[in-house]
Structure formats: structure tokens, C-alpha cells
Structure 1
Amino acid sequence: MILLLLASAKKFCVLERMVQRGEWDYAITKPSDTIHGKTLGLVGCGNIARAVARKAKVFDMDIIGCDPGVTEQEVAKYGIHLLPQEKVLQDSDFLSLHAPLNRYTKHMINRETLSQMKPGAILINTARGPLVDEQALREAVLSGHLAGAALDVLNEEPVRPDAPLLGQEQIILTPHCAWYSETAMHTLLKSAAEEVVRALRGEPLFHPVSHN
């Protein structure tokens, strides 16, 4: 997520494509700005969002978040200040989604919520694609209300050739790979195997799944 934040803030992909064309002019990215001192909003404040907050503090960002399932005391040590969702949308220079996907959160980022976001803000989604109404996001970026977006997840994966977010220079898209590294893959397989062993031994599970 931090990589997408930096790439979108500095318009890295625009610059890379320009140099590949044999051009050389940083002014193509104007206007762009530093992330130092900017406000990062987290929609959902679970373990991943808390890890993001720790990293974002290195850049001296102000961290705000909304999550009905956590308390201020739980997240304060990560530098997250809880606010109502509408206030998080209004105040964030960068809005990062970390909510689960369910019937309440599907397309939670839609025309209404996008209109509440700060003009010039950037949306980042590394959680679940259907949290975002992609057509509404396209309109918000093309209208200039949002400066851009960076998404590692889409409503339909693999991406369709006619997906609404394709072909937009201000929108960075990656193929649901934010989680991946060889180390992460090894850790995932190892932890899954260890959980199976705990289950077979009748021991408490570290990551139980509820069917309720």
C-alpha cells in the first residue's frame, strides 16, 4: 500500500512511461506534492491498517481512521485518531481502504462518498475490489475531483478488456499482488500447515474462521 501511495503521489508511472518514450521533463507531473505532513485516512483499522499506519508515520503523516469495530484506545498506540467516516473522507489527502467485503461494504465508495472526499485526494484500495464503484471512481478522476487512484484489486479479476478504470493515466492498476513476495509465500504456506497441525492436535487455533 505504501508503494502505491508513493507512486500515485509522485506520478511515478507517468514519469516512467515518459522516459521510456525518450522524453525528459518532470513538469509533466505538475501539480504534485510531497506526502510529508499530509493526512492519510484509513477505512477499516484492523491489523493491516495498523501496519500501514506505523509505516506512514515515518513520513510524518497524520493518520485518521474509521472503524465501528475498534476503539480509540486500541488504535491510539499506532498513531491512528478515530473519526466518523464522513470526516475521514473530508479530511484525507490519501484514503486507503482496509474494510472487509460484505453486504454492508460493497460499493461503499460510490458517487455519494466520492463527492465527500477532499478535492485533489487520492484513493488507494488494496483490500477488496467491490468496495469501490469503479464507474463512479472513473468519473471522479476524469472530472478532476480526485487527483488519482491506485488499486491492487478490482471488481472483476482478471481485469476485463472493457473495465472502466483501464487506460486512465491518473489511475494505477496492479494485479492483486500487493501481498506477494517469496518470503510472504513461504510464511503463508508455513502458517497454514502449522494451523492444520494445531487443529489435528485439538489445540487452540491462531486463526479460527467463524461460519456465523
Structure 2
Amino acid sequence: MDEETAPDVGSTAGGPGSKVAALIERYDLVGLGDDLESRWTADGDERMSLRELADYVNESLIAAALRASDTQPVDGVASNYYRLLTSDDVSSGTRIEAENELESRGVDVDQLESDFVSRQAIHTYLTSERDASYESPDRSDSERADDRLQTVQRLKNRLATVAERVLTELEGSGYLSVGDARVTVLVSVQCRDCGEQYAFADIIANGGCDC
């Protein structure tokens, strides 16, 4: 199952109550549904993948949240905030600074980040609510593996950020003292046959266990 056909795991089922439809209404993103469909079904270089469309929607949510807080974002501001909030290349400290800056502008960052959509949610919205379809070319096994690895890495990064924020809040309240703490999230896989343990990225890169 590839990027264009993966089920909408973890989001509301298709229909009027789907996550993307609800967000379009709640954030008053008039015309976004038509825009998403046209970009997904376009030909050649004009076409955007489900991953790109998810990023596009999430950047639109940030821009809408800023406008709702009486801040008119200039070009590039929403996409930069999105990069700071989600990119694996951004340190947790820089990410927290971006979150604090958004909070100071009146944006509920926790709500905003919980509203971010996945490519699966985009797929459900386009196929179940708008009856759109796209015949995806076959993707290689290595492309699919890399895609899944990036998903896990983003979740690890987000978990580390949340954990560091909790430590900062508890230290600020005087509950504990941790100094300049850094949280690291490790995901390991143990082979049931031989007991060997691997880092998640390593077992994917190796194509499985050596046994």
C-alpha cells in the first residue's frame, strides 16, 4: 500500500465529519477543497502528492490561525513556522521558541498541532467526499520503506519535544530541577528468532535481521 492509497489511519472516516472537511469549515478556508482536488489530479509537474498536499493544508492552518489572532502573515511566514514545528532538522530548543512565539501572538499551539493533517486524511477527504481519483504509478520498495521511516522519525522528534516541554514546565513550577536537559527517544526492534536488537532505522536499512 503506497502513499496514494494508504487508509486514513487515526482520522475520522469519510463523509461530512471527516477531519479535513471539519478543518476547512472551522478555519474558514473557503475554496481549499477545490484547490486540493485540482492540485492532486493535475498532470505533470503541476501535480502535488498527498504528502505535499498535507503540508500545504497544515501551512494554511497556521496562516489562518495567525489571521484569527489579528496577525496578517506575509508570504513565507506560515511555511517557516511549519518547518520549525515539524522538521527533523530543527532542534527541540528552536522548536519550543517557535511555539512560544506563536503563543505570544495568541495562537493555541497545542490545538493547532493536533489539527495538522496527514496524507491519509487528505486521501480520505479527496476520495470519500469529493469522489476524486488518481492512478498512482508504482513506487519502489525502497521508496515505501523510506517514507515509513520518515514517519517514525517525525513521531520520535515530536515526542522528544513534548517531553522537554513537560520538563520545562515542571522546572518552572519548582517541582524539579534538571538543568540543561535533552530528551532522546530511541526506537529499537528485537528479532524474535535470535534475540538480536537493532535500532529501528538500522533494521530497515539492513533489510531485516542478519539471522
Which is strand-richer, 1 or 2?
1
Larger RCO: Structure 1 or Structure 2 (Cα < 8 Å, ≥ 6 residues apart)? 2
Which is helix-richer, 1 or 2?
2
Same fold by TM-score, threshold 0.5 exceeded? no
Q: Which TM bucket (shorter chain)?
A: under 0.3
| TM-score under structure 1 length normalisation | 0.25
